[in-house]
Structure 1
């Protein structure tokens, strides 16, 4: 898969251009599936109005509303109760997955329970994550971000990239998300780390990592 790991969606021209480049065709010719599942696990986000706003493209984070040829919904909590024949071909034929923020451990749990986690590495689609939707790709998220507690405990996530992300750096509504907090978080992580603000994304293609930004970010490992 090609990964575009954002803090807050496709927030500027640089990130938008990176997405189009990864799709290798216009957005208007691309079919998308949005995944709202992470939102249900976070008390500030969903369920409710915020989830509807994401799905309908009316949120403040540009993802669903970019002008896709089509947009469908892939709700991970429903997938274990239906046949894989109903959804696996759909995911295998899609151009892009748009994965909402919320709680990264809740998202990790349902990616694994649904079987999507096993499917992701083989997909040709572009994976676009926002906040928790990006963080879930790391081997773990760190205690700073633990909210919903998985049945087995811990802070482990998918491990499809070899680094971890501290999103929403210096966000005005998240006073704890300072650079000092990010550095403290990074000191306790076992993998390379990046702190990124809402104008920044991390692009990963075949293991090659590139930061795309019109804002502030820091590689906390170097």
Structure 2
């Protein structure tokens, strides 16, 4: 059974979070597309698996910080100082607890029903959602398109709603970690975390804050020693 008493975001919070993910992490989308794709869309996230993986990192700052450290150690970041600073900020004080909204471990990894939040964005003309395949008989995936009105609202919230700033800042870090990797590629990275992989089906994925703090301290100390 799903966990009871787990901290949940409101429908509006979910919608704002997804809006910023689409704004930052959506692949650019021009007006030269064919078929069922919206002609006026400005960005797209292809597949719910990718959207859920991105959302997991935004909602779990300790896991996001650990993936930053993975990329630092693998030499995959251009600005190591920035990556370590961002990892530290994600782990500072009560930040991991304040910003964490746990997700369930489902059949294909971290998951939460997003229909209500996506429906809110869709109803206000901020996004479009397209089924890929042969709906309604067969749907291979769902693609999520950010429309111009959605980008405009994200820009407005960015400058006028200071209490939402962390959504925007966190989504930018998620993009730095995820790039345009597919949902399957991102899920594979997340499954490499033992705590994530070992969570029983339908239970909330637990945090890893203290382990990541220790790892950050070790990496910072090693780099300080190497620079002496």
User: What TM-score do you get using the length of structure 2 for normalisation?
Assistant: 0.23
Instruction: Considering Cα pairs closer than 8 Å and 6+ residues apart, tell me whether 1 or 2 has the greater RCO.
Output: 2
Q: Which has the higher helix share?
A: 2
Q: If you compute each CA radius of gyration, which structure gives the higher value, 1 or 2?
A: 2
User: What TM-score do you get using the length of structure 1 for normalisation?
Assistant: 0.23
Q: Which has the higher strand share?
A: 1
